[in-house]
Chain A
Amino acid sequence: MPQWVVISTMIIAYLGLTLWVGLRAGRNTSSTVDGFVAGDRNFGFLVMYFVTGATVFSAFAFLGGPGWAYSRGAAAFYILSYGVLGMVPWYVIGPKVARIGRQLGHVTQAQFLTGRFPSRVLSLLIALISIAALIPYITLQIRGAGIVIEAVTEGHVPLWVGAAVAYGIVMIYVLVSGVAAVGWTNTLQGVFMIAIAWALGLYLPYALYGGIGPMFEAILVARPELLQLPGLTAGGEPWNWAGYSSAILISAIGLTMWPHLFMKAFTARDERIIRRTVVWFPTFQLFLVPVFLIGFAGVLFVDELARPDFILPHLILNVDLPVFVVGLFCAGALSASMSTGDALMHATASVAVEDGIGPFIDMTETQQRMMIRLMIVVSGAIAFFFAISESVSLVVLLLTSYGIIAQLAPAVIAALFWRRATTAGVIAGLLAGSATALVFFFQPGLKPLDLHEGVFGIAIHVPVLMLVSWLTSAQPASRVEPYIKSKASPTSGLPAVSE
């Protein structure tokens, strides 16, 4: 039997297992919007741990991570650096968001913000920002899945067929079981990702160089510039410290503001589970270590790959690994892609319906769930179309979307910690911050310093938010109370974490 047939069989078996888990997951969830979008707020620690970890680490981490290490060297260490810092504020914010969501019935980020700052414009604005950032993200996941399948089957299964099959399955389980499917499949996929990354990350340096130490010694002799911070740019020039440091800062601010992660606060059974998820997140973050080792393993073995994102499939196929290992690698990469893709599609559809359409058109619960399912198909179809038609600019779009998503952070902080913040202030800040980030993204020549454009966005956002809030009249106490005095509320089982 040719190798690609064996691998295809393994992929089919793996996808079948995922589908089975996804379909079973929704059996005990209620047929409500709360059930479909927030899993009846009943996720336990184990599921929350894997949902958070597997959602954060996407196809970009599994394919792009080794690609960065291979082509840009130490620059990749910024990804290693920001994760824990980005997650830590969630220890304080996550439980508050969950508690307020439970009291006021929120299932999305915009509902949480408009609960404090009532405005249909704000709701629509957040929905538009979210969808604009999420669609390119989904596209990259779908493309990643297609690339992996095409590569390991030696082209017998073209990109579009592989992507269609993998994401057809994602769509089926998300449509049937909602967020419960996301939770349980991510648990399966998270285990796969971690196990396979560590296995390959330790195996490849030994197989190719005789160990991790000897590998880096060899790289140090041949390509010393690769291991020196802050590494190289995509063009192979030395990167600068301002770019490296501000990328860490803006990624850390933006991390938990991504709607598909933020919304998971509403799925936790209790606040304690969110805190434990944050506490254990660093163990998931260490998954990047073997991922980078894989990329470095390619440095002296693969010459000048035109598309560094292909380093992992390329290396896997060219170092004569047992077919079983190739199949496992493929399952790991698909896990990484699908565990983020499902959460993204689910979040995009929920946000579009609950925040984009909901405030303007009255819908019953049943209609809302129908609409969300419809939007899952629509967003999946749009992303699939982008994924199969080659467009490089999507990666660029995704990188800048971090700068825009980070603009949601001041609004969330203001909602939870600043009594004097007003609706007008938050809308003005959001508009000013996003506009600033976009201007500097499209006109990098205007930047006074070579920092990430999101940093300039935040620098404009915060003063605008404060100034406009002070100029407009304060909110009634009844509006502020659930957000800032929530520790006194009788329904809260645990004391607030902040002082």
Chain B
Amino acid sequence: MKRFWIRRLAIAVFSINLLAITWPIAYLVRTAEPLIFGLPLSMAWPILWIVLGWVTLLMLDYFEEREHDSTNGQESHSPERID
């Protein structure tokens, strides 16, 4: 059940991501100022979305795995995970 909501949330985040970095929303952050940690706003904005995307994926994967371990644990294997 939790997995259902986490997936919906992930889909929502990435849909907003697409809207945020293209016209018209990107138009609102088109300027260089204010500088954010020294970077122009227009550059900091896509970087922010890379980081948000990463956090979303980490969260999604964490819950997918946990769910998988609790519901499908008996089904089989996941071969060694260490490289």
Partner of A493, one of B50, B65, B77: B77
Alpha-carbon distance A416/B7, docked complex (angstroms): 19
- Which of A83, A252, A497 is B64 in contact with, Cβ under 8 Å? A497
Separation of A449 and B21 alpha carbons in the complex (Å): 20
Q: Is B31 a contact partner of A244 (Cβ separation < 8 A)?
A: no
Indicate if the CB atoms of B47 and A80 lie closer than 8 Å: yes
B61's partner among A80, A214, A269, A275 (CB-CB below 8 A) is A275
Contact residue among B57, B76, B82 (Cβ-Cβ distance under 8 Å from A91): B57
User: In the complex the two chains form, what is the Cα distance from A279 to B24 in whole Å?
Assistant: 28
**Chain B residues in 8 Å Cβ range of A289:** 47
Q: Does A351 count as interface, using CB distance less than 8 angstroms?
A: no
Q: How far is the CA of A230 from the CA of B31 in the complex (A)?
A: 10
Question: Are A74 and B42 neighbours in the complex by a CB distance under 8 Å?
Answer: yes
Contacting chain B: which of A42-50, A314-322, A468-476?
Answer: A42-50
In the complex, which residues of chain B have a beta carbon less than 8 angstroms from the beta carbon of A242?
23
Contact partner, A85, options B17, B58, B65, B82, Cβ 8 Å = B17
- Least CB distance from A86 to B in Å reads 11
Q: Mark A462-499, 1 if CB is under 8 A from B, else 0.
A: 00000000000000000000000000000001110101
Interface size classification for chain B: 35 or more
Q: Is A212 within 8 A of B38, CB to CB?
A: yes
Q: CA–CA, A120 to B62, complex, Å? A: 42
Contacting residues, chain A, for B17 (C-beta < 8 A): 84-85
B51 touching A241, Cβ below 8 Å: no
Of A221-229, A339-347, A364-372, the segment with at least 4 beta carbons within 8 Å of chain B is: A221-229
Looking at chain A's contact residues, is the secondary structure mostly helix, strand, loop, or mixed?
helix
With contacts A74-B42, A269-B79 taken as known, whether A241 is within 8 angstroms of B57 at the C-beta atoms is no
Interface pair B40/A216, CB less than 8 Å apart: yes
Tell whether A245 is near chain B: CB-to-CB under 8 Å: yes
Min Cβ gap A361→B in Å is: 36
- CB neighbours of B57 from chain A (8 A): 88, 91, 278-279, 282
**A153 CB within 8 Å of chain B:** no
B75→A493 contact, CB < 8 A: yes
Chain B CB within 8 A of A447 CB: no
Interface positions, chain B 13-63, Cβ under 8 Å from A, are: 14, 17-18, 21-24, 26-27, 29-33, 35, 37-40, 42-43, 46-47, 49-51, 53-54, 57-58, 60-61
Known: A85-B14, A244-B23, A494-B78. A80 touches B43 (CB 8 A): yes
Chain A: interface residue total (CB-CB under 8 A): 52
Complex Cα distance, B77 from A81, in Å, reads 37
Contact A282 B78 (CB under 8 A): no
Which single residue of chain B is at the shortest CB-CB distance from A43? B83
Could you tell me the distance between the alpha carbons of A46 and B80 in the complex, rounded to whole angstroms?
A: 13
CA distance A201 to B75 in the complex (A): 48
> A230–B30 contact, CB under 8 A?
yes
Is the beta-carbon distance between B78 and A286 smaller than 8 angstroms?
no
Q: Are A270 and B38 neighbours in the complex by a CB distance under 8 Å?
A: no
| Distance of A84 from chain B, by nearest CB (Å) | 4
By beta carbon, the residue of chain A nearest B82 is A44
Query: Please, which residue of chain B has its CB at the minimum distance from the CB of A225?
Result: B32
Contact among A47, A91, A220, A227 for B83, CB-based, below 8 A: A47
B66 within 8 A of A: no
Inter-chain CA distance A227–B43, complex, in Å, is 8
Question: Looking at the complex, which one of B22, B47, B58, B82 makes contact with A248 (CB distance below 8 Å)?
Answer: B22
- A168: interface (CB < 8 Å): no
Among residues of B, the one whose C-beta sits closest to the C-beta of A214 is B38
CB–CB B22/A229 < 8 A: no
A83 to B68, CA, bound (A): 28
Q: Are B38 and A245 in contact (CB under 8 A)?
A: no
CA separation between A305 and B58, bound complex, in Å? 42
The residues of A that contact B29 with a CB separation of less than 8 Å are 229
CB closest residue in chain B, given A224? B32
User: When the two chains form the complex, which single residue of B46, B78, B82 contacts A272, counting CB atoms closer than 8 Å?
Assistant: B78
CA distance A213 to B37 in the complex (A): 7
Report A-chain residues with C-beta under 8 Å of the C-beta of B39: 212, 216
Tell me if A173 is interfacial: C-beta within 8 Å of chain B: no
Q: How many angstroms between the C-alpha atoms of A470 and B17 in the bound complex?
A: 34
Report Cα–Cα, A217/B22, bound state, in Å: 25
Return chain B residues, CB-CB under 8 Å to A46: 83
A32-77 interface (Cβ within 8 A of B)? 44-47, 74, 77
Q: Measured between alpha carbons, how far is A84 from B58 in the docked complex, in Å?
A: 13
Interface mask (A267-304 → B, CB under 8 Å = 1, otherwise 0): 00110100110111011011001001000000000000
Q: Are B35 and A77 in contact (CB under 8 A)?
A: no
Asked whether B18 lies within 8 Å of A85 as measured between CB atoms, the reply is yes
Q: Contacts A47-B83, A245-B23, A283-B54; is A292 near B43 (CB within 8 Å)?
A: yes
Interface mask (A235-247 → B, CB under 8 Å = 1, otherwise 0): 0000001101100
Q: Return the contact of B50 from the options A220, A278, A285 (Cβ within 8 A).
A: A285
Closest residue of chain A to B11 (Cβ to Cβ) is A88
- A sample of 10 inter-chain contacts (CB < 8 A) reads A84-B54, A85-B17, A85-B53, A213-B38, A214-B38, A220-B32, A227-B43, A229-B29, A282-B54, A283-B54
Given contacts A217-B35, A280-B54, 8 further A-B contacts (CB under 8 A): A45-B83, A85-B53, A88-B53, A212-B38, A216-B40, A230-B26, A245-B22, A493-B76
Name the 7 nearest CB pairs between A and B, nearest first: A213-B38, A227-B32, A44-B83, A282-B54, A245-B22, A229-B30, A241-B23
